[in-house]
Amino acid sequence: MKRKNFFVLGAIAAFAVILSSCGGGSSAPAASLKSDVDSISYAYGVNLADQGGLMQYLEQSGIIQSASNIEYDYQMRIAAADSTQKEALQKEMRTKIDSLNKVNAPKLNEFIKGLKEAMKSGEDNSAYVQGLSIGHQISKQMLPQFEDMLFVEDTTKKINNNQMLSGLIATLKNQNTAISKMDANGLIQSRMEEAQAKQQAKQEEELKVQYQDSIAAGEKFLADNAAREGVVTLPSGLQYEVIRQGNGPIPADTNTVKVHYHGTLINGTVFESSVDRKEPSTFGVTQVIPGWTEALKLMPVGSKWKLYVPYDLAYGAQDRGTIKPFSTLIFDVELLGIEN
């Protein structure tokens, strides 16, 4: 899975100018990572400021001056320096960033006051409408959406606002964070992928109830088919029947192959056929459904096999038009050659 950024502030260009003056305090709550939820909350705050676009918005709006150029310049110089120069350059970089932080502090503190006030109250206040707009968006939209994605239906778990703000504010102020930006991004990414996998598994179980007749028909077909002479059933559940055995090389994962194929459902409905198109197809051995990949790595070039593919080695719960979820598929596959 490609990496994704789940936290981009899509409407950030429409956010209002920083509030004029408001209460609530501008210091960051102390980091206290006593639980898994605390860590996720803190990481979300760091990620929101660093990867979510908030820091960029503040820089582009002229609220703060960016430290990125300073860090980049010194990191390049530090990488090229010898051991005696590195410490001096790091100290010089820190001094310049501290100086910049002091310049940024007044307006940034005002912004943080409004942000914290919005997170605390969660209610509109006409005197704070412009200054609180980002805090309200986080509180009313982004956090609930993030919690729904992360915790799925576990309503007992909520993001710890104090830890989220602790990570966010420390990042905005260029302070040391209890979780690094890279680790925060990695933690959020991995937990979101886990949550998505759980959600997908839940949805698949619900679909299995809806398509239980199709699943049962496929299982019966494969059970009956396994008893036929000439049909080989592999440990994965894939079945094949040799129509013609070739004597050429056998493809590996890294190969690209040229094949002719004819695919049907167990009721005989044709869903795709290079034979009917009169044009062979070329693709990587691992760029097809798992049942095909497994079979291709057993077939010598010149072979023609009939494959009987259980749904879990085909398209699973996907709905692909003619191929409905949990469909068992049949393919005539002729391996014409290995392209590389």
Say what the pLDDT of residue 25 is.
53
Say what the pLDDT of residue 171 is.
87
Q: Which CATH class is domain 212-338?
A: alpha beta
Say what the pLDDT of residue 120 is.
65
Residue 185: closest CA among 46, 35, 330, 27: 46
Mean pLDDT for each 10-residue chunk of the chain (340 residues)? 38 31 52 86 83 77 80 85 85 88 83 72 43 71 84 82 88 88 91 88 90 96 96 97 96 96 96 95 96 97 97 94 95 95
**Cβ(330)–Cβ(266) below 8 Å:** yes
Q: Which residues does 185 contact at the CB level (< 8 Å), separation at least 6?
A: 43, 46, 47, 50, 51
Say what the pLDDT of residue 18 is.
29
Say what the pLDDT of residue 288 is.
96
- State how far the alpha carbon of 77 is from the alpha carbons of 82, 174, 297, in Å: 10, 20, 51
**Cβ(170)–Cβ(213) below 8 Å:** no
Domain ranges in the chain are 12-204, 212-338
User: Does the predicted model carry a pTM greater than 0.85?
Assistant: no
